[in-house]
Chain A
């Protein structure tokens, strides 16, 4: 089977998400779809897999024009998509998820299904256990389940949307090995949507680059096992050029003199429903930036929230400038200049339905009776200063993600002691992410200490003075970030502490 897309257009309001995209995906090949956030990759793949209709344009499967009005239609035609957050049902077991969606009778043949699941899993070198509830499984295992499930439905073209986000180096190897097998042995079309150069270069046979909704170019990748650093660097810089239209300069790290200790964790023990963190010790100085690395739900979130009173501490102490703040409320931390920023902006941080002025009034007004005109003009000024595209009377949900993040910056106190930020640049394009870091580093120069988590290893390496790697509640400190490679970090994240 091969697939061709012809002149695909898709618009959302004023955004032309896919602008006349034509591309061919031949059988048995792994094609990378590379581009920045917002380049139109996900939209194109959703059109191909039946989640969204294209405005105009054709999808040809083996030369026949096809129209999908649902993902089920696409699967019938042999095209299946693995979403970034796999579309499974958390309350189901692996086997139930595998069976649900198969053309079974009212009473499914559970024995046969279990056999199919186990065989398909073994065939790809996966390790899926039929009775495990999906809500207890890592992203990597859920991806494996979804791949096995789609293939069992007869899918001959498999689309993977950013599959390497949130999985460890080792899990990535397993995944890539399986994908190579599928393409080169079984003749499946594999499409890998990614914004990570390393991934597409390692895995893909060919890469299609999108930018601003257009197909910018196409490059053949070196054979697997190509190790010549000069060749690899050349390909990389070509791809970067295609993605951004320009070369990106390296980050420049400013050395900031570290001053007195702001935060100290002493033998901290934390626990939630899923994991337990024991004996965590850390001291953080003024102007220091510490990054927290690890897969989702490995303990970074729990740690950051416990440090500022949003989760409870089982034992141990949290000291802020020497004062014992263990298990105090978030508000008492806030009073001492400790601010937490959560990953989901509109869920945690901003309030849909409130205007920008109202947001400002919540954090700035010290008086019981509000002076709305004064607050409004203060907000307008602040918006100008932070270059927010929006008016003071706009409701926050009317702004784009990047502008919401800017508003959050505007809402921060002028000189916080400590910023605790959960994935501060998640979902932002490169430019917005750089702007955010510029803001953060300015505050750092003013003496603010920063603790942040990220799923992006290059972000961690670029900005951290030290990195704490979390794996299933265990913590490993990397103090010499300058001489650490991204690969080493990847292994640590996967839990292989011994290799380092």
Chain B
């Protein structure tokens, strides 16, 4: 296996991290029966908040300062915490308006997605294109020396490791624990959850806010790791919509969600490689305007949703032998949580 290829894989994993964290956050929210459609705006505004917080803690309020007044670690931790809080706050608006006011989740989410993007641009104007702290690499002792897996997965930074923990942790939570069953039940059939003594609306608050907080971490991951700093237009413009589509493609299952996020990151890696090195098929260089490659992720978004809506993924299940079928059922099931987008009231 050549080193360059492993490096590419490692950068795919690294670049997918914000998408993974955001999609996992949204999966948590939607599993509880609520859609947070504000993802795109939330990512932009939390990236802004996280970056400014980190910058201010590390460098002070002066935007021209180049001397650090505190360690980069302090700034980074502060930045991620602020991003989380902002993400949670946006999600709280969605939870309140949906649970207390019975407002349409799509409407409120859409207004928020626009508003938050503008807000980020307005409040972040002074802080665009200035340097700030960046999350450093931290190879995991021992694991980093594993052949193949080490260089790809374990020579990354803390945010990337967090994404692994989130994926595996959410799977374990949803499908192996008792509170995880309640989490799924309030998104599938809140009446049944209520009959079993689960406080449906309180739990929905918890998961919507928790999911929003993770979206905030994802936003921070953009401005502190993936595309450091702020720019106008924002570097991750559109990724929130892609993350929302990944949740659908992922069938609301953490493992499939992470595969989706990695696919998108891989596609981007391929297209940026072509933009850098050109495209050659069978020794022939192919000439075309590489600008068009920027459309690929969006084409893929449509294709992935087509795969889900045509039932192609679920049909895979029928090709598998019986025992495997049973094990794979929860992964290949593409049905949305049944109560998604609805409100629950005890009558």
Contacts and interface: CB of A to CB of B under 8 A. Distances in A.
- The short answer to whether A and B are in direct contact, CB under 8 Å, is yes
B208 interface: no
A83 to B, nearest CB: 8
B276 interface: no
A26 interface: no
Contacts of A105: 178
A125 interface: no
Contacts of A133: 329
B178 A88 contact: no
Interface string A113-140: 0000000000000000001010000000
A402 B23 CA distance: 46
Interface residues of A, number: 23
B333 interface: yes
A369 interface: no
Given A106-B177, A106-B178, A107-B176, A91 B333 contact: yes
Interface stretch (A95-103, A242-250, A388-396): A95-103
Contacts of B196: 71-72, 100-101
A101 B181 CA distance: 9
Contacts, number: 61
Q: How large is the interface on B (under 10, 10 to 19, 20 to 34, 35 or more residues)?
A: 20 to 34
B118 interface: no
A65 interface: no
Contacts of B182: 100
A75 B196 CA distance: 9
Contacts of B227: none
Contact of A92 (B181, B335, B337): B181
Given A52-B347, A89-B189, A101-B196, A96 B181 contact: yes
B184 A89 contact: yes
A108 B178 contact: yes
A101 B195 CA distance: 9
Interface in B95-127: none
A104 interface: yes
Contacts of B178: 99-100, 104-108
Contacts of B189: 87-90
Contacts of A70: 194, 197, 346
B179 interface: yes
B285 to A, nearest CB: 48
B188 interface: yes
A387 to B, nearest CB: 30
Is chain A's interface secondary structure helix, strand, loop, or mixed overall? Answer: loop
B296 interface: no
A313 to B, nearest CB: 19
B185 interface: yes
Nearest to B333: A91
A205 to B, nearest CB: 28
A100 B179 contact: no
A261 B17 CA distance: 66
Nearest to B177: A106
A89 B326 contact: no
B197 A91 contact: no
B307 interface: no
30 contacts: A51-B195, A70-B194, A70-B197, A71-B194, A71-B196, A72-B195, A72-B196, A72-B197, A87-B189, A87-B191, A87-B192, A89-B184, A89-B192, A90-B189, A91-B188, A91-B335, A92-B184, A92-B188, A96-B181, A99-B181, A100-B181, A100-B182, A101-B195, A101-B197, A104-B178, A106-B177, A106-B179, A107-B177, A107-B178, A108-B177
Interface of B: 176-179, 181-182, 184-185, 188-189, 191-197, 326, 329, 333, 335, 337-338, 346-347
Given A89-B192, A107-B176, 4 more contacts: A70-B197, A88-B192, A89-B188, A92-B188
Nearest 3 CB-CB pairings of A with B: A101-B196, A72-B197, A87-B192
